[in-house]
Structures are given as structure tokens and as C-alpha cells.
Structure 1
Amino acid sequence: MVTRLLPPRIDVCRSVPFTPLVRAGEDDGYTFEGYGAVFNSPTRIDSWEGTFDELVAPGAFRKSLTELIPKFQFDHGHHPLIGSVPIGAITDIHEDERGLFVQARLGRHMLIDFVREALTPPDLGGTGAINGMSFRFSVVRDEWRDRNGKKIGSEGELSRLLYGAEPERLPLQRTLLEVKCAEVGPVVWPAYPDTTASVRSNMLIPNAVAARRLHLLEL
């Protein structure tokens, strides 16, 4: 019997293009503001996991933020020089009507200054080259529905549909109802070329898992 893989629920990343909220004349240039996630914005996931739409529901971060303040990292801690050291400290993080609002104070270090310049819009003296935010999370509660709004009742049904059964019910929609957020921060590559909102980070897919998924699709 072939075991089919479902989308991961632990240590997942999502990224969103964003415009940093920088106010000329109101700060010394070391305060970062932006949105790490946008609510109710369906995103097409089209990868080794299958093809489906995903959105984050309002309230998804609420419980997590009362338990743990996420770390503020650059590129998920994978920069070869900065590494996993946070590039700043979060001073305010909360949900509002738009999404997950993040305010942080950047550290004062030469390497972090390079990131700060890339985050600052050109009209304020920067390059604006970095325009993405991402958050790392684990799924606590989610909900799957087919294109007609019918709720997916079991993992078996979900697996069959993700592997292409009953195409008339596709694409599926996944709603993230509650997540535990461990880390948030700016990223260089916020999205795949054919997306306009949050996407899954391909760095989270172990080669062995990806190879197995491809093998299963060929069966």
C-alpha cells in the first residue's frame, strides 16, 4: 500500500511581498514596520504538496502571541554571515484588521545596516531591494474545503483529492485557523514568480521527501 504525503504541519514558512512602513522624519531609521501575514488573501500553492489555495484567518496568531514573542530574523536565519542571530527585537506585534502587524528595532551592526538600507525605500535614501516578509509557524488547527465549499472530512479524502482524484472538486482551499508563530522577518525572495501573495518556502522540503513525492506521483 502506498503512503501518500500530506502537507507538513510543523516548521512551515510563508512569505508575502510587502511595503515597509517607514515614515520620513519620524524615526532614526532603525525602526522597522510591516505585515508578516495578510488575512483572507487566498494564495495558490502549486508545488510538491499538490495544488490548492490557502489563506490565513483572522485570529490565527492570537493565542500564539500570548505565549511567545517570535524572533525577528533575516532570511529565516540562513544568511551566511548573519546566521540565526536576530537582526533586531520586536517591540510590537499584534493582529489588526489587515493581518499580522510587526514593529521591531533593528540592531546597530555593519551587516544589519546592509539589510536596513535594502529595506528603506529609495525616496528615503535606501534601495528598497528587499520587499518581502515571512513567518515560520506550525499548524494547530486548519480546515480544508473543496471548490464548492464542502468540508473535507478525513485525511484519506484530503490525500485522494490532493493527488488529483475528483478534479471537478478542485482546487481545494485550506484555511489556517490557528498557528504557533516562532519567527518573522524580512526575506530576499518573498514569492515564486507566478504568485502575488504568500507562498511556501522551498527550503523546507528535504530532498528525500521531494524525491519520494515525485516517485509517488509516477505510480
Structure 2
Amino acid sequence: MSDFEKRIVQLVEVRADESGARTLTGYAAVFHSPARIGDYFIEQIAPGAFSDAIKGDVRCLYNHDRNHVLGRTKAGSLRLVEDAKGLRFEVDLPNTTIGKDVGTLVERGDVSGCSFNFRATKQSWDDTVNPPLRTLEKLEIDEISIVTFPAYDDTSVGLRSLEAARAEAGGLRNAAAAARRVAEKRAATEQRIRGIRQDAL
């Protein structure tokens, strides 16, 4: 699919060094942690989903606002690592108004969540359970965000993906059924031919 989705993730912590510079740390995603997306489906992330994504240029924003940049992997101010638990991040807060404000808000506990923006490039669906289970196997990400109101705020894209998966599964089932019918016709034809040959003898 081409649209990006946003998902809630884990709590954010802040630490400061001797100079007073502050760094936010946390997990932007946790593997095998099922999350309900509205009333529509359950979603989980498989280990290895971010292995390619973290090689790209990713930004850390405040509230998904592109005008409020807190860090960037290309600049070295944002660091992303995929470990056994999930996607861990560290972002060195800039000495700017927004950087100071975010650090203060996190220290006070007023802001404690984050979110990430992603596009699934490989996924699987289990439509035999209710609600369906979506497993994200490979993802592209362009940003993570420190957010005031972490929420599953974009289920429509996931719903389109669910509908596409169901349509694909239906197409595969139809194709399999058609293949069975062809095979059955071929076997019946071959049996009739063998019967004609035996009669001729």
C-alpha cells in the first residue's frame, strides 16, 4: 500500500548529562505486542521489521509536525537500533524552544508517549480469527514522534489493507478452485480416452 499509517507506541524517558543536554529514550515499537486497531483487527510487529528502515533517513518530530524537528538519523542526533525487544530510539534534544519545551514536558510527565509513521511493505493476515490478525513483517518509516495524545489515529489505511488482503485471499481461493476444476476435467478426459483405447483393443 502507498499510504502511511500512525501507531501509538511506548513511554518516553528523558535523561540529562553534566552539561545539561537532554536525551529522550524509549521504544518506538515492541515486537509481538498485539494491539487492537479500533474494532477492526489486531496488529503485531514481527522481529526484523525495521532492519532495513533504520538504514534510511528518519526524523524525530513533536506531534508529527514537520516544523518541529527534534532529531534526525542522518545528522546523528537521532539513533535507532532494532534489538530483541523492538525499535529503540535515542534523540538528543536541540537547544531550541521546542527542544527545551519537549524536554520539560516529558520531565514533568505531561507528555509521555510517542508514535511512529510507517508503511507496510510486507505483511500477512490471519482472517481465520476474529478480529483478523495483521502481522507487520517489513516496514518503511520516515519519522517517529513524541506526542501529546498517543492514539490509533489512522485506521482507515489499515482497513484498506485488510480489504485488499481479503480480496487477494479470495482471488487465491478462486484460482485454486479453478485449478482443481481443470485438473478434474483433465483426469476425466484421460479416463475416457483410456476407456476408448481399451474398447478398441
The answer to whether the superposition gives a TM-score over 0.5 is yes
Of 146, 153, 156, the residue aligned with 1:201 is 153
1:116 aligns to what? 103
Of 36, 43, 59, the residue aligned with 2:28 is 36
| Separation in 2, partners of 1:27, 1:14 | 34
> What whole-Å deviation, never above 9, does each CA across 1:152-190 have from its counterpart, x for those lacking one?
xxxxxxxxxxxxxxxxx4111000000101001211111
Q: How does 1:84-95 map to 2 (within 5 A)?
A: 84-89=67-72, 90-95=77-82
Q: Is the 8 A contact 2:71 2:78 kept in 1?
A: no
| Separation in 1, partners of 2:114, 2:98 | 18
* Structure number with higher helix proportion: 2
Letter in 1 for 2:9: V
Q: Secondary structure at the residue paired with 1:10?
A: coil
Q: What's the % identity of the aligned pairs?
A: 30
- Higher radius of gyration, 1 or 2: 2
1:216 aligns to what? none
Q: How much has 1:111 moved relative to structure 2? A: 2.9
Letter in 1 for 2:30: V
Letter in 2 for 1:183: E
Q: How much has 1:31 moved relative to structure 2? A: 1.2
Q: Which has the higher contact order (CA 8 A, sep 6+)?
A: 1
Q: Is the 8 A contact 1:64 1:180 kept in 2?
A: yes
1:80 aligns to what? none
Letter in 2 for 1:16: V
| Separation in 2, partners of 1:84, 1:23 | 24
Letter in 1 for 2:136: L
Of 134, 137, 141, the residue aligned with 1:181 is 141
> What whole-Å deviation, never above 9, does each CA across 1:13-60 have from its counterpart, x for those lacking one?
11124141x34666724211111111110001115xxx1100111110
Q: For structure 1, which runs of at least 5 residues remain unmatched after alignment?
A: 1-7, 78-82, 121-126, 148-168, 192-199, 210-219
| Separation in 2, partners of 1:181, 1:129 | 26
* TM-score, normalised with respect to structure 1: 0.63
| Separation in 2, partners of 1:53, 1:132 | 20
Q: Is the 8 A contact 2:31 2:46 kept in 1?
A: yes
Q: Secondary structure at the residue paired with 2:69?
A: coil
Shift in alpha-carbon separation, 1:27–1:41, aligned structure 2, 3 A: farther
Q: How much has 1:132 moved relative to structure 2? A: 0.8
Q: Is the 8 A contact 2:15 2:23 kept in 1?
A: no
Q: How does 1:127-166 map to 2 (within 5 A)?
A: 127-147=108-128
Aligned pair count reads: 154
